[in-house]
Amino acid sequence: MDKPYFVIPIEENDEPLVDLGSYGFELGFNYYTSGFTTYKNALARKTVADKLVNAKNNLSTGYNFKIYDPWRSVETQQNMVDGFARKIRILHPEWNEDQVMTETYEFAAPVTGDPKRPPNHNTGGATDLTILDENRTELDMGGEFDETTERSFLSYYADKDDEVSRKIQANRMMLQKVMTDEGFAINKNEWWHFDYGNQRWAYLTGKEKAFYGGVDALELPKTE
C-alpha cells in the first residue's frame, strides 16, 4: 500500500543516528518488550535528538519525555505491521483481509522494499513519545500507545465536554505544541507520533524534499 508522502524525493544528508539514552529521556523499549525486536535501543538522528531536548525544556519544571519508539529496522517494522493486523482481526472478526490491512495501514507504514519509500521510523526522523510528570508518571492521554482504535486519533476527545476528556485533550495539545514548536509534524491518527526530516514531514509541511531516508544501524547490541 502506498502513502501519499512517498511521492516526496529524498536527498539524504547522512546525519548519524545517536543513542537517546544519553540525552536524559525515559526510555520505554516497547517493541523489545512486545517481542517485535531482539534489540534494545533508542536511536534517532542527531538533529531530532537535539530538538527533543529543546522540546523537553519547554515542558513544565520536572516534566520529561518518555520515548516509546524512535528509529526501527525494517524487520521490526514488518513485525509491528503483522502484530497490528493480528490485533485488528481480533477486534473485527467480521472483516475480510482487505479491510484488516486497510485499517492496519491507518496506524502503520508499509514495508515496500523500495529505498525511495522507506517506513518513517526507519529514517530515524520519527519518534513516538509521551510526557511524564514530576513523579515520572505518564500524563493521561486517553489511550494506550499503539492502540489501533479511534481513541488514538489526535482529535478524538476534542469535541467531548466532560472534565476528564478536556484534561486528556489538554495533555495531548501540550505534547503537540512543544513538538510542533520545534518543527515536528503531527500525525492525526496517532497522538504519540511526530516526524522530522523524512518524507511524511516534508509532505505535511510543504517542503519539496526530505533529507532523511531509510538507514541501517550497524553493530546494534543484541539483547538475548
For 206-222, write each residue's pLDDT tens digit: 999 999 999 986 544 44
The 10s digit of each residue's pLDDT in 50-92 is: 999 999 999 999 999 999 999 999 888 888 888 888 888 998 9
Confirm whether residue 128 is marked as ligand binding: yes
Confirm whether residue 92 is marked as ligand binding: no
Give residue 112's domain range: 4-205
**Distances from the Cα of 32 to the Cαs of 28, 156, 200, in angstroms?**
9, 28, 25
Q: What percent of the chain has pLDDT over 70?
A: 96
192 within 8 A of 179, measured Cβ to Cβ: no
Residue in 149, 153, 75, 150 with CA at minimum distance from that of residue 119: 75
Q: pTM for this structure?
A: 0.87
CATH number at residue 57: 3.30.1380.10
Residue 217 lies in a domain: no
Confirm whether residue 121 is marked as ligand binding: yes
Spatial separation of the C-alpha atoms in residues 141 and 120, rounded to whole Å = 23
Residue 216 lies in a domain: no
pLDDT beyond 50 at 140: yes
Mean pLDDT confidence for 178-185:
98
The 10s digit of each residue's pLDDT in 98-114 is: 998 888 888 878 888 89
Query: Where in the sequence numbering do the catalytic residues fall?
Result: 190
Spatial separation of the C-alpha atoms in residues 203 and 210, rounded to whole Å = 8
Residue 220 lies in a domain: no
Residue 45 lies in a domain: yes
